[in-house]
Amino acid sequence: MCHVLIIEDEPLIALDLEDLLQANGARSFSFADRQDNAIEASRKTHPDFIVSDVTLLQGTGPLAVEAIRGELGPIPVIFVTATPDACSPCAPPGRVFRKPLDRRAIGDAFRSMAFAA
């Protein structure tokens, strides 16, 4: 089973990502639209994978991911953003994709990162 935390403040994009990732093997999802909600969601259900926007309603996706990884250890992440230059800290092993969504590239990256082990 692959549980994905989607950190995205645009509901239609979050639902599109859910559909895309489910088609590529994800089985369950948590959603957050704010930095603090993302951290709390990860505490309730440990994600196997994270997909995050950069700019959120409150805080940033990269800072949420950094805090989550600090508590739970390494978790693969894909950042999907309209502002890739603002993606900080987005150091590897994360991948950064520009909006609008490149469904094929994101699906390929998800499969290779989530099921590499």
Q: Where are the alpha helices (DSSP H) in the chain?
A: 11-23, 35-44, 61-72, 103-114
pLDDT in tens, 17-51: 999 999 999 999 999 999 999 999 999 999 999 99
Q: How far is CA 55 from each of CA 3, 7, 61, 62, 96, rounded to the nearest angstrom?
A: 22, 10, 6, 9, 13
The enclosing domain of 58 has a CATH number of 3.40.50.2300
Domain that holds residue 97: 3-114
How many domains is the chain partitioned into structurally?
A: 1
Predicted TM-score of the model (pTM)? 0.94
Amino acid at 41: A
